[in-house]
Chains A and B, each alone.
Chain A
Amino acid sequence: MGISVRNVTKRFGSFVALDDVSIDIPSGSLTALLGPSGGGKTTLLRVIAGLERPDTGVVDIAGTDSTKLPPQHRNVGFVFQHYAAFKHMTVFKNVAFGLSIRKRAKAEIRKRVMELLELVHIEHLANQYPGQLSGGQRQRMALARALAVEPEVLLLDEPFGALDAQVRKELRAWLRRLHDEVHVTTAFVTHDQEEAMDVAGRIVVIADGKIEQTGTPDELYDEPSSDFVMGFLGPVTRLNGRRVRPHDLEIVSPSTPDAVSGHVARVVRLGFEVRVDVATDKGEVWVQLTRGDADRLALVPGAAVGVRAAHESVVGPARAATQT
């Protein structure tokens, strides 16, 4: 079940936002749609919600062909980046909105709304107006509002994008826990790879209106199918022309057989990690060390060193090339 998108194309004028996109979002999963801005991930989310109509293709939600259904009848919960709170209603009325549209009994609405407000920890704010809430509280209210109608799928568009860093981190952890409790099929859009890897069980990388790769955070990080995914998911440097992650490199003595020799250009301490730039014949390599390793090596600029992959198995491109 879950969500199935088949061959969806969406154009805005001459701009192709989605180019023959097909993805599956398994029932009960927590999936991140990750990609750079303008890559089409929000459009994909809006197509699933019925807020945009695709030019071609099929959207299937929980086994129902929903391509032509209006958003009212898709049974999706949608959370907007800027909350889209109903400003003239109290928090209680906001969360109760979908239920009152469905003409549920007053007592039932009251019970359900209070349960949800407790779930998102804002039950004490029930009679406040959205304008009196902080950004994080507003976003939790928006989430409770979307969950109130027991949607088949929950869609979140950059849900933490408008929040400051500290609140964002808290809400991430909280969304993960919430998903463990509620188990609703969830897809959220983000351009932050750290957020995607932190929260999601599955990641779909989208760029230029196309799906780049789909997989678990580990699969994407360790076995990227393209240079783009490798570069987008984490830091990349070049050793002997091959793309590697800086933390997969180690510094050894220059005479070590399969090591590339060079000399230390810079040593930068960034808290617990140390960034070492090594100048080799084929350009500069960035090696990321822990503070302990760096201290043991006692690196100083100008010192002759060798650089090699710490464990051959995780070097990306060669393996990725044979895979695809």
Chain B
Amino acid sequence: MADNSTTTASRLGLRIVALAYVGMILLLPVGLLFWRTFENGVGEVWDQLTNPAAVHAFRVTLIVAFWAVLGNTVFGLGAALLLVRHRFPGKRVFNALIDLPFAVSPVVVGLALILVYGPNTSTGSWFADRGIDVIFSLPGMVIATIFVSLPLVVREVVPVLEEIGDEQEQAAWTLGASKRQTFLRVTLPAIRWALAYGVVLTLARALGEFGAVAVVSGNVVNKTQTAPLYVRNAYLNFNQQGAYTVAFALAMIAILALVILNLVRPKEHT
């Protein structure tokens, strides 16, 4: 009895500590953000969201996020297949390199991209001669976003590919399926939820990216300003309502994507 009650008490204590921790670090800030956003009524929120500069910032963010997600989905899938299904020299180095974006600060990523693609560099002027500005324009922002979110799809897909093994694929071959048919009918369906999860995480990361994009975009209002950059500008210019509203909208898009994925994903599959 005594043992039982102490374990119950300690379990309860642990639960309270965990909840308090999550509450202080996650729920309270997000909750306050929600409250501050709507404290002056829905009309204010609507005005802030439809403000032309905010609309433009959202559009830029969505364009950048779309290309970053597309690029990282294709690359992530290819890299995961390469890492799990093939042997090649330099595989360990390749595997380590994929995690590099997690280790490097986004600001450093932005500065490094300027070193390579900046207007005064040879690579930058090569592109400029062909009418493509990389830095202070969309291509550079897309590259920066791809860089910072590169590992997400790979790291979601690799463990699932390892877990399912290659016997299903070999069985498909012996049944007459070509490599392409095998990929589309056997491999892809087996990893689809991991891939979807990786895509949603990449989307969330791309929507919220600040540091790297801040460096390479130039932060020009109505041109290269993304939604996170807009939030910062609005906050610094004492437009707190605008900052809270756009920040809240950004958070909601990412959270919604996660929630939808978890709702449609069947429980027994991974």
* Residues of A near any B CB (own CB < 8 A): 49-51, 70-74, 76-78, 80, 82, 84-89, 97-98, 101-102, 131, 142, 145-146, 148-149
Contact = CB atoms under 8 A, between A and B. Distances in A.
Main SS at interface, chain B: helix
Contact of B174 (A78, A82, A131): A78
A101 B170 contact: no
Nearest to A87: B190
B171 interface: yes
Given A84-B167, A88-B190, A70 B173 contact: yes
Contacts of B164: 87
Interface residues of B, number: 19
Contact of A77 (B168, B172, B174, B269): B174
B176 A149 contact: yes
B29 interface: no
21 contacts: A50-B174, A51-B170, A51-B174, A71-B170, A71-B173, A72-B173, A78-B174, A80-B167, A84-B170, A85-B168, A86-B172, A88-B189, A97-B172, A97-B177, A98-B175, A98-B176, A98-B177, A101-B176, A145-B171, A145-B175, A146-B174
Nearest to B188: A88
Given A84-B171, A145-B175, 19 more contacts: A51-B174, A70-B173, A71-B170, A72-B177, A74-B174, A76-B174, A78-B174, A84-B168, A84-B170, A85-B168, A86-B171, A86-B186, A87-B168, A89-B189, A97-B177, A97-B185, A101-B176, A101-B181, A102-B176
Interface in B199-215: none
A101 B177 contact: yes
Contacts of A73: 176
Interface string B159-198: 0000010011011111111100100011001100000000
A320 B239 CA distance: 98
Contact of B168 (A71, A86, A102): A86
Contacts of B129: none
Contacts of A86: 168, 171-172, 186, 190
**A-B pairs with lowest CB-CB distance, top 9:** A98-B175, A84-B167, A84-B171, A78-B174, A71-B173, A88-B189, A101-B176, A71-B174, A80-B167
B171 A78 contact: yes
A87 B172 CA distance: 13
A129 to B, nearest CB: 8
Contacts of A80: 167, 170-171
A79 to B, nearest CB: 9
A51 B190 contact: no
Contacts of A71: 170, 173-174
A50 B178 CA distance: 14
B268 interface: yes
Nearest to A89: B189
Nearest to B189: A88
A281 to B, nearest CB: 55
A58 B170 CA distance: 21
A178 to B, nearest CB: 19
B174 A49 contact: yes
Contacts of B174: 49-51, 71-72, 74, 76-78, 146
B175 A101 contact: yes
B129 to A, nearest CB: 47
